[in-house]
Copies of this chain bind each other. A is one copy, B any other.
Amino acid sequence: MAQDNQAPIRIALLGAGTVGSQTARLIVEQREDLSQRIGRDIELVGVACLDPDEVTVPWIDRSLLTTDTAGLCTRADIVIELIGGLEPARTFVLRAIESGACVVTANKALLAKHGPEIYRAAEKRGVDIYFEAAVGGAIPIVRPLRESLVGDSVTSMLGIVNGTTNYILDEMTTKGLDFDVALKDAQDKGYAEADPTGDIEGHDAANKAAIMATLGFHTPVSIDDVTVEGITAITADDIAAATAEHKVVKLLAVVENGEEGVSARVYPALIDENHPLASVHGSFNAVFVHAEAADDLMFYGRGAGGAPTASAVVGDVVTEARHIAQGCVGPSIPLYRSLRKAPLDSSTAVFAVRFLIHDKPGVLAAIAQEFADHGISINGVNQDLKPTLHDPGYSGEIQQLRLVTHRCDEVTLRETVTAVCALDCVAGTPSILRVLD
């Protein structure tokens, strides 16, 4: 089907790191197959990088390497942006669009912050923008949201979308490690970056939540709309308490289009060990989608890594190349709704709260009374000895009290916990975790 009488479609690659070099490999090694699938030949015309001497993979011809990123953007039909971060990535993407190139990007931070600007620019210029790799790595989730579920009403999405935190929580669970030790271990093994802030504070997952909400609900949702809680406060005691109750701790991205409006949240939550998400380990990601007609769907696969991410990138390249071969552009991102954002204080959940308490009569009664006074109903209580803990100024034993509430609003819950902590009989800092219903 490849038509030899037409010039090849020119592909430019910005960035030659892990994902970039794997993307180049697929394009170079599978060029003949890809051309057959497109119906026209393709050609890698340039690879922009900061230092050509650092690019040593054998499948990238050295003559393709350039440091003139802006120039490369203007001499390609498809520009693949794998630089990451906000700037200069945003400038290069807009320049590529302006010069009439279609864009493929895996840049979740860019899309979560400047997505609507970029989507509008692409629509106005009549070029494609595809970004399957920005959420869930190799997992097809963006395209199903843009196309497969476009005839349905998506009401909520829930997923594990950050492999680094998932790996750390796994290690804490299986080896009983504290957070700092598990993080160090993940860094040593290359599963966490030297500066792990973006992952462990939940910002990476929040970027993906913003993109998922924008696509699923057809309304602009920015990273600034996402409430974020990372995993840095999770302790070995939290994990042990979860295990004792046949639960696991997972960092979730949760987006909902409910009566209160659209919400996008990232938080660690307790999940029943039989829930399908509980068995998503290591760098694997999984996303649940609920839609009015389709009901429940789940997508699972590798959420990171050079080759898996490159698979998603090259799938997008082929899609855009097919459009170019046919002389048309794919669907724009129709953000035709301006849905209200749910008020931050409208968040409700089932909460698991863990207090350290003095072991003496009346303590449980006093705490239970605070919950009752705040109108929060308790669904389960568990108390056991924590003999290794000490409270300055108290000579008795310290016990651990675990409470699970019925669904309640978060503001009231936090007020209640503050009130409980003001009691003399409560020691240390309480732990508060959501429980997935």
Contacts and interface: CB of A to CB of B under 8 A. Distances in A.
A37 B219 CA distance: 11
Contacts of A312: 148, 294
Contacts of A37: 150, 218, 334, 336
A105 interface: no
A144 interface: yes
Sorting the interface of chain A by its residue count into under 10, 10 to 19, 20 to 34 or 35 or more gives: 35 or more
A293 B148 contact: no
Contacts of A313: 151
Interface in A315-341: 315-319, 322-323, 326-332, 334, 336
A297 B151 contact: no
Contacts of A149: 140, 311, 315
A176 interface: no
A76 interface: no
B315 A36 contact: no
Contact of A317 (B151, B302, B332): B151
A152 B218 CA distance: 29
Contact of A302 (B33, B138, B295): B295
B26 A152 contact: yes
A294 B302 contact: yes
The winner among A150, A301, A312 for most chain B CB atoms within 10 A is A150
A391 interface: no
A310 interface: yes
Given A37-B150, A152-B315, A22 B279 contact: no
A268 interface: no
B295 A151 contact: no
A329 B139 CA distance: 25
Interface in A14-61: 22, 26, 30, 33-34, 36-37, 39
Contacts of A326: 328-329
B294 A311 contact: yes
B301 A300 contact: no
A293 B276 contact: no
A296 B305 CA distance: 13
Nearest to A25: B293
Contacts of A255: none
Interface string A188-201: 00000000000000
A298 B297 contact: no
B150 A140 contact: no
Nearest to A36: B336
B308 A294 contact: yes
B300 A300 contact: yes
A151 B305 CA distance: 16
Nearest to A329: B326
A170 interface: no
Contacts of A228: none
A327 to B, nearest CB: 7
B140 A315 contact: no
Contacts of A298: 298-301
A147 interface: yes
B302 A300 contact: no
4 cross-chain pairs, A with B, having the tightest CB-CB distances, nearest first = A151-B314, A328-B328, A140-B148, A293-B311
18 contacts: A33-B153, A37-B150, A37-B334, A37-B336, A140-B144, A144-B144, A147-B319, A149-B315, A151-B317, A151-B318, A276-B300, A293-B308, A294-B308, A294-B311, A295-B301, A296-B302, A319-B331, A323-B328
